[in-house]
Amino acid sequence: MNDRYSRQILLDEVGEEGQKRLLKSTVAIVGCGGLGAIVASYLAGAGVGHLVLIDGDIPNISNVHRQILYSGHEKDSKSVVLKEKLAVLNPDVSVESFSDHLRKENINNVLTGVDLIMECTDDIMCKYLVNDFAAIEQIPLVYGAIYKYEGYVSSFMNSTEEDTHLRDIFPHPDETIPTCAEVGVLNTLAGIIALLQANEALKILIGIGDVLSGNLLTYDCLSNRQMIISIKKSWDQDLEEYFEASNYLPMDCSFVGELSIEGLMAQRDKFILVSVMSESEHQSIDDATFHNALLTRDADILKAADKPIVLYCKYGKSSKQLAANLINAGVDAELYSLEGGYQAFQKFKASN
């Protein structure tokens, strides 16, 4: 045992036996961005023996404010770049990179045999794919997510049928949740949540402390308020059957027509504008030119419309998905989604 881990071995709860457990462990890190790169760095520093890095994306300059190990000018995938950086950080650690996105077809080959999975992506469908696979294969999983100023962490031990997992908190993916690219995120939040994830991983691997199994930790970086919410076991479907029946792909909305804000405002009288936002969000719109019907209050408008209908939400994502659902359900109306949502109107208004 070399001096690299001496300060860690001094801890009574760790010692040489705990360090040996880390050195013998294999951890898969799904997503090597704002969360995953920090998680990987701390696990490598702690002496986790083998790391599997999974990410097919190339670093983007718009993300490096929180993905601080990248410059945004790299040509290789994040998993490859991160592997090179970890080799410098701790040459003792064996690191494997997988430059692809996890899919149902390849997840078994990539994750089978690991001791722990770190879910660090911002892809909602990938989160459910990894959650379901880990629960079925009984692989412990540490979950992390960030949204603007709020972060979430939990540990799903997956050792018994009574252990909670992601679907006990959120049974099905909500594809309307905007990503960091749409609503932004404070960079320090990514670091805080990543460290909490890494901390959970070390406790699980060494076998010390109280992990977040059965609980969801929430953190608000504006107020520094932290809560631990108890999770009740609620998912009662056969997860293996569900896994076989699911493709874990985003909803196909490609057939939905999108109307730009310029196109809408150039022919404003030719369209009926319908908000699909919540009532409180809808009430905050005080522009008479833009403020039209609220779908939840006036659902009959879809049947009575004598003009094409343009659905809108805050960012253009929820409205497009709802339009796809309505078209698939056979709604007899000419439907469009407003590209960029109400945010696009605000930018249009400010520049005109």
CATH number at residue 305: 3.40.250.10
181 against 133, higher pLDDT: 133
Alpha-carbon distance 307 to 250, whole Å? 30
pTM, two decimals, is 0.85
What integer pLDDT is reported at residue 293 of this predicted model?
A: 61
Asked if residue 250 is part of any domain, the answer here is: no
- Strand-pair category, 215-220 with 150-156: antiparallel
Tell me the CATH number at 32. Answer: 3.40.50.720
Around Cβ 351, how many Cβ atoms within 10 Å? 6
Active site residue 180: yes
Q: Using CB atoms within 10 A of its CB, is residue 327 exposed (0-12), middle (13-18) or buried (19+)?
A: middle
Instruction: Work out the average pLDDT over 112-123.
Output: 96
Alpha-carbon distance 34 to 64, whole Å? 8
Task: Identify whether residues 218 and 84 lie together within a single domain.
Answer: yes
**E strand or H helix that includes residue 133:** helix 124-137
Asked if residue 252 is part of any domain, the answer here is: no
Chain centroid, CA 140 distance in Å: 18
Q: What is the overall mean pLDDT for the chain? A: 91
Asked if residue 50 is part of any domain, the answer here is: yes
Task: Identify whether residues 287 and 214 lie together within a single domain.
Answer: no
Find the angle CA(223)-CA(199)-CA(230) to the nearest 5 degrees.
60
Task: Identify whether residues 231 and 265 lie together within a single domain.
Answer: no
Q: Which of 126, 180, 221, 313 is catalytic?
A: 180
pLDDT tens digits, 272-322: 888 887 776 666 666 666 656 665 555 667 777 788 999 988 888 888 988
What integer pLDDT is reported at residue 290 of this predicted model?
A: 64
Task: Identify whether residues 239 and 273 lie together within a single domain.
Answer: no
**Domain ends where: 185, 219, 245?**
245
Find the angle CA(45)-CA(123)-CA(210) to the nearest 5 degrees.
45
Q: How would residue 349 be classed by pLDDT, with cut points 50, 70 and 90? A: confident
Number of domains composing the chain? 2
Find the angle CA(118)-CA(120)-CA(124) to the nearest 5 degrees.
120
3-state secondary structure of 97: strand
Task: Identify whether residues 202 and 56 lie together within a single domain.
Answer: yes
Asked if residue 311 is part of any domain, the answer here is: yes
Task: Identify whether residues 57 and 173 lie together within a single domain.
Answer: yes
Task: Identify whether residues 201 and 345 lie together within a single domain.
Answer: no
Tokens of 176: 């309307």
Asked if residue 251 is part of any domain, the answer here is: no
Asked if residue 313 is part of any domain, the answer here is: yes
Strands (E), 157-232: 215-220, 225-230
Task: Identify whether residues 228 and 272 lie together within a single domain.
Answer: no
Q: How would residue 234 be classed by pLDDT, with cut points 50, 70 and 90? A: very high
Asked if residue 74 is part of any domain, the answer here is: yes
Task: Identify whether residues 331 and 283 lie together within a single domain.
Answer: yes
The helices-and-strands tally (H runs, E runs) of the chain is 15, 13
Asked if residue 184 is part of any domain, the answer here is: yes
Instruction: Work out the average pLDDT over 141-157.
Output: 97
Task: Identify whether residues 274 and 177 lie together within a single domain.
Answer: no
- Strand-pair category, 272-275 with 309-312: parallel
Q: Which of 143-157, 171-185, 311-325 shows the lowest per-residue confidence on average (mean pLDDT)?
A: 171-185
Its domain, for residue 193, covers 3-245
Task: Identify whether residues 238 and 183 lie together within a single domain.
Answer: yes
Task: Identify whether residues 233 and 281 lie together within a single domain.
Answer: no
281 against 349, higher pLDDT: 349
